[in-house]
Amino acid sequence: MEYVMSELLIKARDGRYGIPAVDTFDMVSVLSCFLAAEKEKSPVIIMTCGYELEYLHINYADFVRLVRAIAERFPEVPYSIHLDHGTEEECYAALEGGFPSVMYDGSFGPFDDNVAVTAKLKKAAGKDRCVEAEVGRVGGEEGKGMSAESTIIESDPAELVEFLAKTEADTIAVSIGNIHGVHGFVKRAPKLNFELLQELRSKCGVPLVLHGASDIPEADINKAVSLGISKINYYSQLFRAFMQSVKENVDLPVEECLSKGIDVLTEEICKLMRMCGSSGKA
């Protein structure tokens, strides 16, 4: 059952639970998301990045068709398709390719440029499609060509208010000490600024997103969700487990090796659904 991402996130915000958003790129990773969501009776957000599709010679329309074809097997699973960390050009290409939701990452440029591009993208997307943006800068290892030493800038509540007023973005990724990768150049679980998160939530009428959630302790995820985080992004933690399974089973026939990887990845996603509180919310 497909939804625009903002629809799922509003339900999560109002229900005080979070939804894991998983970066995927092929049949194996997409299938694992649906298997986990069916098992846990959870909604799921299926994301990809432009550079991931580029590496695998898949275009945006291909990815949308792939997800929807697999989804036909799981009619009871609420899901949404989302572009993660897109450039302006990638966001327009994804919208053209049928993505109902995109995230424009303008965090590495001037605030005014971030505002201008996000506003243009929201106008192009219209009311029936979702645009996520980032206020502040999460930093760390994320995306093709980005440096692990990228400076972290915490989200400013006043800037958040101005940003939303000027862009009408549907959801905002916040920087509260979270770090992309495991864990960027810091290489340790970040210390989240919950006081800042409370202030941001009080200023913001749209659902909030936590990027770089891999390996953040369960207690911190629980608290972040209780304070207003509705979407939690995962990549590194999941695919580290998947690749470990592949390494351990690489001498098996390829279909058996990948099958074991699917089982491992599915169980890891199930754990995240339980941790974020989305289990039983389908």
Which is the catalytic residue, given 26, 62, 84, 113?
84
Q: Is the Cβ–Cβ distance between 134 and 169 less than 8 Å?
A: no
170 is catalytic: no
Which residue numbers are catalytic? Answer: 84
